[in-house]
Structure 1
């Protein structure tokens, strides 16, 4: 019996729209690292004071975007895992084997993306962490939630350790770090500006990839927590058109909004230096960015879920769904476009934060347009087609069937 993928009629529009929204947020967060040495500056604690309009763009990104969207994407991965496994079970397919092949293909995409193009890849993290979901698929709902909240507690407790280190010790550590790596930024810029592709990839392996992999356990902890929330939401059927849980979704929206307000306000006070804990300031910004990221993540998800149920809002938000349906293709193409634009054409380090944000929005609009045109003719995005074909063991039919009048049968759901 052939293993069949989810048909276009089985898709849930709400999920595609939320995924498209998350894709935009991730792109906004990633853009500074595409056109500037943002990664190295964060790695070595080198702080850059933004001025003018860049100052306010940075503040907006920190308050409402930073660490708010990869959490949504992670949540959706856990949700997608449930949908994939449950529908495979309904068809009597070997769920474990199919999911393992799906994860292995994702890992190949992620490894190639990480090594050959960009340090900020999240796909390899999802692939490695995703295997752990197999151990939770049959567990009770209360077990999923207990693990998810416990993992979040652990990761934020680890972030808080810095507050118990004496200020004098942190000052010494900061000075030593800046002295040891004072020339690293210049070298980094020279490589990104002048090296050929082979030299660039080789340099990135030690400078970027090794630190990223060393941080993998920490990243996986947060990602797994969001996976489990998504798995729980899938089981409960929160995103089904006929869901009986609208009251719970509205309650979640209200609670997460009320929690987000004081967290975002305090984060703003830190960023504006109205509240200044001295040497602990950066640690406080990191902690409250993450905490507000959790609450705003669920506020965004619940708000979009409710808005999409309104016909007017559904039409307005529907374009996000086209990009979301081709999220893997669009995610990878964002890197390819930006590497060519900033590194290939020599604009690296020469773009302001505000200009980079405008470029990001323009590229995303073009991606929505491309996705809409592509999906008029084809069932899947090109990378999604490869992923599905690898998962199910045979090449998937790409073109949508057409009737005698030339109209495409079915609608994307």
Structure 2
């Protein structure tokens, strides 16, 4: 998320805007969102637990041989950029759902949307600067403010505009890879002398030590990186999510046969791009230009793999409304924002100095164990929580801030 907390469908006449009731939600969307929440932790755990260069170029840090190498390969092929793409698509679908549900309300739907976005922005800023610079909520607030301007367009127009937006940073990145040279080194691809140790000491130190390190990364993410890359890509993905919702893909309105075809097509094309990137980067021994090209090709492949994953979930949910997997994933999906922030609180407590101080100490196999443990806790807490409450705790705060009703 948010990841995003996508509200349910509420198309009935309603003179006063109100939060969406649980029985109005679309099960398949909640299940997909829950799976996305689980999936992004596989990637985010690397940022929680290792120096930042290890995410960009894993050869620059330890834990890249034997079982650790296989864990990295699995996470890169099946998770890297795939689940955050799903998250972004779902956020876009949520914008359409929200706007449609408020069309008959006395207060303007667009005003409510921007209030909702403003609250998300505040939550994201607190998350990024107080806890973890890898926050996505600030980016979603910015991109959501732009994407909503197109929500009434047709699916074809949304797909076309989204494709252009996504293509811009992708083309620039590929161009940069060849300008650098596939076999050439690049400053962004290697750690400066002492930088890794300084980062480890900062996050193993006090909260203030970590804040000084985190602040610089967050500022870059919210300025340079936002303007040159993330705003384009994630706004485009949100537009695609709008198109997928309007066309019925995300509401499980398509046939099983169509979903099967999308699964096969998305997986075949997507993993071909991912595999090509890996072949290039290993062939050039992780040189800078090759690394950038690998990242770019993976970003392209992730779009198709995410489509395959979404189609697989729709295929599985078709004709099903219960079962352990659906119950758990739906509960996590309904409390997506709370669960996204919960992952940060737990992981930073484990890895940062104000907690157990294990930053830089666990190998990739051990990190995977932490992920599974967090998954189990999240699954149990989400199901139990929703037996007593209608919304997750942060969802409640988000909704109350949106509607201005604190009762």
User: Higher Cα Rg: structure 1 or 2?
Assistant: 1
Secondary structure of the residue that 1:5 maps to in structure 2?
coil
**Cα distance change of structure 1 residues 63 and 94 upon mapping to structure 2, 3 Å threshold:** same
Indicate if the aligned counterparts of 2:17 and 2:403 stay in contact, CA closer than 8 A.
yes
Residue number in structure 1 paired with 2:331: 322
Q: Distance in 1 between matches of 2:344 and 2:287?
A: 36
Aligned partner (choices 116, 134, 139) of residue 120 of structure 1: 134
Residue number among 308, 315, 340 corresponding to 1:306 in the alignment:
315
SS in 2 for 1:349: coil
CA distance in 2, matches of 1:168, 1:276: 10
- CA 364–94 in structure 1, closer or farther in 2 if over 3 Å, else same: same
Separation in structure 2 between the aligned mates of residue 347 and residue 193 of structure 1, nearest angstrom: 7
Q: How far, CA to CA, are the matches of 1:160 and 1:323 in structure 2?
A: 36
Equivalent of 1:47 in 60, 85, 91:
60
- Kept in 2, the 8 Å contact 1:238–1:245? The answer is no
Cα deviation for residue 307 of structure 1 reads 0.7
Cα distance, 1:258–1:314 mapped onto 2, change above 3 Å: farther
**Contact residue 57 and residue 291 of structure 2 kept, 8 A:** no
- The residue that corresponds to 1:140 in the other structure is 154
1:95 paired residue number: 109
Distance 1:263 1:275 in 2: 17
CA gap 1:43/1:315 in 2 versus in 1, 3 angstroms: closer
Is the Cα contact below 8 Å between 2:33 and 2:90 reproduced in 1? yes
- Higher relative contact order (CA closer than 8 Å, sequence separation 6+): 1
Residues 384 and 198 (structure 1), Cα distance of their counterparts in 2 relative to 1, 3 Å cut = same
Q: Which of 285, 290, 296 lines up with 2:294 in the alignment?
A: 285
- For 1:231-263, what per-residue CA distance to the aligned partner results, in whole angstroms no more than 9, with x for missing partners? 11222233436x256554444323212312422
> What is residue 401 of structure 1 aligned with on the other side?
none
Candidates 171, 180, 199, aligned match of 1:157: 171
Query: Partner of 1:223 in structure 2?
Result: 234
1:337 paired residue number:
346
Name the counterpart of 1:402: none
Q: Give CA-to-partner distance per residue, 1:40-78, whole Å, 9 cap, x none.
A: 445699723601210100010111110101100000000
Residues of 1 paired with 2:242 and 2:399: CA distance? 21
Deviates more, 1:159-168 or 1:148-157: 159-168
Contact 1:102/1:391 (CA < 8 Å) preserved in 2? yes
Cα contact 2:48–2:348 (8 A) shared by 1: yes
The CA deviation string for residues 79-133 of structure 1, in whole angstroms up to 9 with x for no partner, is: 0110111011144542011111100000000000011110100000000111112
Deviates more, 1:213-222 or 1:282-291: 282-291
Task: Tell me: CA distance 1:359–1:168, structure 2 relative to 1, closer, same or farther (3 Å).
Answer: closer
1:76 aligns with 2:90: yes
| 8 Å Cα contact 1:307/1:313 also seen in 2 | no
Secondary structure at the aligned position of 2:249 is classed as coil
- Where do 5+ consecutive residues of structure 1 fail to align? 397-413
Unaligned 5+ residue runs, structure 2? 1-14
**TM-score, normalisation: structure 1:** 0.87
1:363 has 2:371 as partner: no
- Relative distance call for 1:122 and 1:168 in structure 2 (3 A) is closer
After TM superposition, give the deviation of residue 297 of structure 1 in Å.
0.5
